[in-house]
Amino acid sequence: MNFEKKVREGESGSEAAFGCRRRVMAVVDGGAPAKQAMMWALTHVSNKGDILTLLRVIPHSDHSPSSSSSSSKKEERARLLVSSLASLCKTCRPEVEVEALVIRGHKLATVLSQVKKLEISVLVLSQTKPSLLSCLMMSRKENFVEQCIEKADCLAMAVRKQSNGVGGYLVSTRCQRNFWLLA
Domain CATH for 29: 3.40.50.620
How many domains, in total, are found in the chain?
1
pLDDT digits (tens, 9 = 90+) for 83-123: 999 999 999 999 999 999 999 999 999 999 999 999 999 99
Percentage of the chain with pLDDT > 70?
73
Span 14-57, pLDDT tens digits: 444 455 789 999 999 988 999 999 999 999 999 999 999 999 99
Residue 70's domain comprises 3-181
Q: Indicate left, alpha or beta for 132 from its phi (over 0: left) and psi (-120 to 50: alpha).
A: alpha
- Determine the Cα–Cα distance for residues 56 and 166; give it in Å rounded to an integer: 29
Taking residue 11's Cβ as centre, other Cβ atoms within 10 Å add up to 15
Bigger pLDDT: 121 vs 3:
121
DSSP class per residue in 50-67: -EEEEEEEEPP---SHHH
